[in-house]
Structure 1
Amino acid sequence: MTSSRLSAVLPRLYFPSKTFSSAPNLSRSLSRSFPRFAHKMRELTTKDLNPALLNVQYAVRGELAIKAEDLRTRLESEDHGLPFGKIINSNIGNPQQKGLDQPPITFTRQVAALMEYPPLIDIVKDKWPSDVIQRAQELQREIGSIGAYSHSKGVPFVRKSVAKFIEERDGYPADPEDIFLTAGASAGVSLLLNMLITPPNTGILIPIPQYPLYTATLAQFNGVALPYHLSEPDGWKTSLHEIRDAITKAEKEGVHPRALVIINPGNPTGSLLDFPTMEEVVRLCEDHSLVLLADEVYQTNLHSPTTHPFHSFKQVVRKLNSPIPLFSFHSTSKGVTGECGRRGGYFECTNISPEVQALMYKMVSVGLCPPLSGQVGVDCMVRPPKEGDPSYPLWKQETDKTHAALAQRTKLMADRLNALPGVSCVNSPGALYLYPKLELPDKAVEEAKRQGKTPDTLYALELLDETGICVVPGSGFGQKDGEHHYRLTCLCPGVEEYVQALENFHQKFLKKYGGL
């Protein structure tokens, strides 16, 4: 390129806004700036991308969440003109989000701080509990700097901690080599669905309602979602005949069922499986040669652990001496840990061959390693302070307080929602959510149709506009035809005021559309 040509192009490169002022002018601008290449260049469009991406939907951060952020921006101006003063994000299980403000566990944060900046130990060694210092020093010896890559499956020492946690929980041995640390449970789910799906006819059985991670990931990898409905009249119980019907239907349509997803405790329902039902699920997987994907990230979110205990599918599989392939997921994002942004999690392989695990190792190696800060979080989650440790009294106080708050909010919300006309709500024994059912007036259904929306989306949008409360329509999770639900979290502080706003809105909505 001659100096005159170079001087002509440089201003455009350094000040692109003068040339590339808008997308429609892109080709014309390129022609002026780079005449040699203009005949080869064309604008990148969605037609040039993987078509499977166009089918991906993720309702938890969909239309309602986007509008909530727009309204949050409006609230920053003094003359916003909105009938509320804040946005309440009840759409996602994000405990430490601003506005929900679940307090982090001090032990976890102190260990994390010392791992981020080891010289801090010298400053706090006489101020922080000695077991915090010991844990950080132990992890530093095993990990080194958290700014470095680790083993692709995760730090071996942390995987040993996870294995010991599983053994103590279930009463059966666990092998650290069967454990993969991940960037939250979602990364593990995505990896395994990608490996299990062989397009175009691989089916994955998913509960309805379900967490939309599964439908979104299936769409991305060209898998076929095989829905089976949970039984709402029975407290959202897993229905074995629904699963069998879904398998039969899939096989008639030429789809091969490969795996069964169980979310326990449930999301969005908060349901909790009993041991006999879990045994039936394992036997069903044996009968149909299904891989079992056990999403158990809410295992410590139990509101009545004495009467409604959690059992892992690993425990059931080992008790039955079953050969079914099982992948079990856990995460630091839920429970009382609530460290969503730290991106820590793991999955355990049960009855998975060395050949398959070797392939899995190759795939996770492509991503080099899960986040080290997340791995530290996993270690703190599976190895919390024990009675007698200096950190234990505060850890016990903090975790008990969070458990009590979630249980109290869940019960209060379920009771108040059930008292409303046209609303029924199963009182959740676990997880972070309620999933109330709505009987909507015909006029509301007609208005939703006129707007090109589902009726529960109309309800949720008007709820957001009137109160600032952001929920997720049931259509984003799946529901039976003609039914309407929404999911809301039980994380919100000031729950009495929050539920009062829900009640007032519901009454106004029914009057508006002739339901009262």
Structure 2
Amino acid sequence: MSVLQEISSDVRNMKQMENFVLFRRTNEIKEELRRGVRKSYREVIDVSWGDPHRAGVKPLSFVRQVLAACLYPELMDGDKLMVDVKQRAQRLLGTCAGGSVGSYCATAGIPQILQSISQYIMRRDGGVPCHPENIYISPGSQWALTNILKVLVNSEASPRTGVLIPVPCHSTTIISLTTLGAVAVPYYLREERGWALEMEELQRALDSAKGVCNPVALYMINPGNPAGYVQSRKSIQEVIRFAAEKKLFLLADEVYQDCVYGKESEFVSYKRALAEIGAPLSDSVELASFHTASKGLMGECGLRTGYVELVNLDPAVMKHINNLFSTNSCPILGQIALDVMVNPPQPGDPSYPLYLKETQHIRASLAQNVRRVEEVINSFPDFSCQPLEGGAFAFPRVFLPPKAIERAKEAGLQPDTFYCLRLLEEAGVLFSPGTEYGQKEGTYHIRFCIMTPTDTMEEILRRLSAFHEQFMKEFS
């Protein structure tokens, strides 16, 4: 019997990511450059990922020093590490079984680190109560989201379970829904209004699901990935009231909460907004909020660490969630990074001056990159970039000529994938096509990470400008 016959239809129905053709060609180009093949560039700049370190941003010293000391405690015997680094490492090793990062830990995470996360959330939300028993540390926020979806999605139900998702939306969530047998119900953000969320559109999306699926949850991304918006407090509370009225479970992806740079923008968590509404909603709306050490200023993507906080869930449901999370506890090193993220050096600590200098440099570089991206992209009549307020990406719209669209179809590619492939070939810059994230029919976008060193971003914009001008001439 063929194994293929036994594979779940939900897995077989997963679409190959549009990025695959780009990743494959990137590897081929890198090999060609290694062999000395002459091109107009010496290296490929890959900003298709939300990975600051891949893009050239330096890791934070305090994070790496604590990790190093925990991995090799003998480092603390000398005088190369600051006193507070040693104290943090000693405290964290004291929470590990046998005093080693190689040991197993409790299902939900190391209790002392769960307590640190709980205290961080309370500080962030102005004192709104947070209980460690409602927090689960996981091998990445996406892993946690998938586990919560497993609780919400009934693969045997008829009609199938539906989840409302924003468009654009990062592709991993769509893949998770497809794999679980759920229906992704799209609601479209208004690009021309800075990717605004309109309540009429949420209602339209919900109405469109009638007879197709049974919507049980509403997924929000704030700050936006890939679109770079930041929701206002008013918008968040409107969403909460909508979810309460329609009896939808709220899934709040808040992994870029530390990356807000819009002049009029402020990050407000869904939990805080819910608490500010007050009873009865604050005691009844079910919410899962996700955060991670992979994003933001820390950018430790390779450590694969995140957490989910659950609000207003029935204790009987929490038992099932506990069972799900017990199948794969988070690696200890990732939990240590999470502890450092929620408890960074404070004024007066020996490591604080360097930590402040490094984080201010990252923020200043990001702010400069935002200004330059908006300035350069919007200087072309064939591009439109909405104001960037938060997150790590730009997601401009590109107005492709009919001839380019036709050529893409002949090549069996989506038009924006074709554009990205040509950009890669001719300029050595790897972006992601908008089709990967969803977009209104007839529109095309590109996504790229803006959390890079400023000189890298200048080189990206230089290459993009030269390529785009030539591309538009060729197909005009």
Identify the TM-score tier after normalising by the shorter chain.
over 0.9
Q: Please name the residue that 1:387 is paired with.
A: 347
Deviations 1:187-229 (A, max 9, x none): 1011111221112510010000001111100111110000000
Moved over 6 A (4+): none
2:314 to 340, 349, 353: 353
1:221 aligns to 2:180 (yes or no):
yes
In the alignment, structure 1 residue 284 sits paired with structure 2 residue 265: no
**C-alpha distance in 2, partners of 1:93/1:215?**
17
Listed as ranges, the matches of 1:404-415 within 5 Å are 404-415=364-375
Q: Distance in 2 between matches of 1:298 and 1:60?
A: 24
Shift of 1:283: 0.1
CA contact (8 A) 1:456 1:485 kept: yes
Aligned partner of 1:271 in structure 2 is 229
Deviations 1:81-103 (A, max 9, x none): 33321111111111111xx2211
Conserved? CA contact 2:227–2:395, under 8 Å: yes
Q: Distance in 2 between matches of 1:456 and 1:138?
A: 50
Q: Which residue of 2 aligns with 1:489?
A: 449
Assess, with a 3 A threshold, how the Cα gap between structure 1 residues 58 and 297 changes in structure 2: closer, same or farther: farther
Answer whether contact 1:57 1:215 (CA < 8 A) is retained.
Answer: no
* Equivalent-residue separation in structure 2 for 1:461 and 1:192 (angstroms): 36
Q: State the alpha-carbon separation in 2 of the partners of residues 343 and 255 from structure 1.
A: 33
Mapped partners of 2:22, 2:172: distance in 1: 17
CA contact (8 A) 1:60 1:212 kept: no
Residue pair 1:107, 1:395 contacting (<8 A) in 2 also: yes
Partner of 2:474: 512
User: Is residue 362 from structure 1 mapped to residue 323 from structure 2 by the alignment?
Assistant: yes
On the 8 A contact 2:45/2:429 being kept in 1, the answer is yes
Rounded Cα–Cα distance in structure 2 between residues aligned with 1:155 and 1:387: 27
| Partner-residue secondary structure (3-state), 1:280 | helix
Q: 1:176 aligns with which of 120, 132, 136?
A: 132
| Matching residue's letter, 1:187 | W
**What are the residue-to-residue correspondences of 1:175-254 with 2, within 5 Å?**
175-199=131-155, 200=157, 201-251=160-210, 253-254=211-212
- The aligned counterpart of 1:23 is none
Q: How far does the alpha carbon of each residue in 1:437-463 deviate from its partner, in whole angstroms, 9 at most, with x for none?
A: 111111111111222211111111111
How many angstroms apart in 2 are the aligned matches of 1:54 and 1:357? 31
Note if 1:313 corresponds to 2:270.
Answer: yes
Correspondence for 1:500: 462
Q: Residue 473 of structure 1 aligns with which residue? A: 433
- Give the secondary-structure state (helix, strand or coil) at the position aligned to 1:386: coil
Structure 1 residue runs of 5 or longer lacking an equivalent are 1-41
Q: Is the 8 A contact 1:60 1:92 kept in 2?
A: no
Q: Distance in 2 between matches of 1:485 and 1:249?
A: 25
Provide the rounded CA distance (Å) in 2 between the counterparts of 1:451 and 1:346. Answer: 42
**Corresponding residue of 1:164:** 119
Letter in 2 for 1:214: T
CA distance in 1, matches of 2:85, 2:187: 46
Q: Is the contact made by 2:365 and 2:452 (CA closer than 8 Å) also made in structure 1?
A: no
Counterpart in the other structure of 1:31: none
Query: Which of 133, 137, 146 pairs up with 2:86?
Result: 133
Does the aligned pair in 2 maintain the 1:181–1:347 contact within 8 Å? yes
Question: TM-score if structure 2 supplies the norm length?
Answer: 0.95
Measured against aligned partners, the alpha-carbon deviations of 1:75-122 in whole angstroms (never above 9, x if no partner) come to: 1111x133321111111111111xx22111111111111111122211
**2:224–2:391 contact (8 Å) kept in structure 1:** yes
* Equivalent in 77, 95, 113 of residue 122 of structure 1: 77
CA–CA distance in structure 2, aligned partners of residues 405 and 397 of structure 1: 12
CA contact (8 A) 1:88 1:492 kept: no
Q: Distance in 1 between matches of 2:57 and 2:16?
A: 24
**Which consecutive residues of structure 2, in runs of 5 or more, have no partner in the other structure?**
none
Larger Rg, first or second structure (1 or 2): 1
Q: Is the 8 A contact 2:18 2:435 kept in 1?
A: no
Q: What is the DSSP-based 3-state SS (H/G/I as helix, E as strand, rest coil) of the residue aligned with 2:106?
A: coil
Q: Is contact 1:59–1:472 with CA below 8 Å preserved after alignment? A: no
Q: How does 1:56-95 map to 2 (within 5 A)?
A: 56-57=14-15, 59=17, 61-78=19-36, 80-95=37-52
Distance 1:46 1:470, change over 3 A: farther
- Root mean square deviation, CA, Å: 1.4
Does 1:433 find its partner at 2:406? no
Of 394, 408, 428, the residue aligned with 1:448 is 408
Alpha-carbon distance between aligned partners in 2 of 1:482 and 1:61, rounded to the nearest angstrom = 19
Question: How far apart are the structure 2 equivalents of 1:451 and 1:230?
Answer: 30
Q: CA 1:151/1:58 → structure 2, altered by over 3 Å: closer, same or farther?
A: farther
> What amino acid is the match of 1:347?
V
Q: Distance in 2 between matches of 1:228 and 1:91?
A: 24
Look up the SS of the partner of 2:95 in the other structure.
helix
User: Of 85, 103, 110, which aligns to 1:155?
Assistant: 110
Contact between 1:58 and 1:212, CA under 8 Å: does it hold in 2?
A: no
**CA distance in 1 between partners of 2:23 and 2:357 (Å):** 33
Q: Per-residue CA shift, 1:270-291, capped at 9, x if unaligned?
A: 1000000001000000010001
Using the TM superposition, give the Cα deviation of residue 406 of structure 1 relative to its aligned residue in structure 2, in angstroms. Answer: 1.0
Q: Map Cα deviations across residues 466-500 of structure 1 (whole Å, 9 max, x no partner).
A: 01111111111000111111111113332222101
What is the aligned counterpart of 2:261 among 295, 303, 313?
Answer: 303
Query: Contact 1:411–1:427 (CA<8 Å) still a contact in 2?
Result: no
Q: Distance in 2 between matches of 1:347 and 1:510?
A: 45
Aligned to 1:26: none
* CA positional deviation for 1:45: 4.8
Tell me the TM-score normalised to structure 1 length.
0.88
Give distance in 2, aligned partners of 1:137 and 1:282: 42
Task: Give the whole-Å Cα distance in 2 for the aligned partners of 1:179 and 1:58.
Answer: 34
Q: Return the alpha-carbon distance in structure 2 between the equivalents of residues 155 and 204 of structure 1.
A: 32
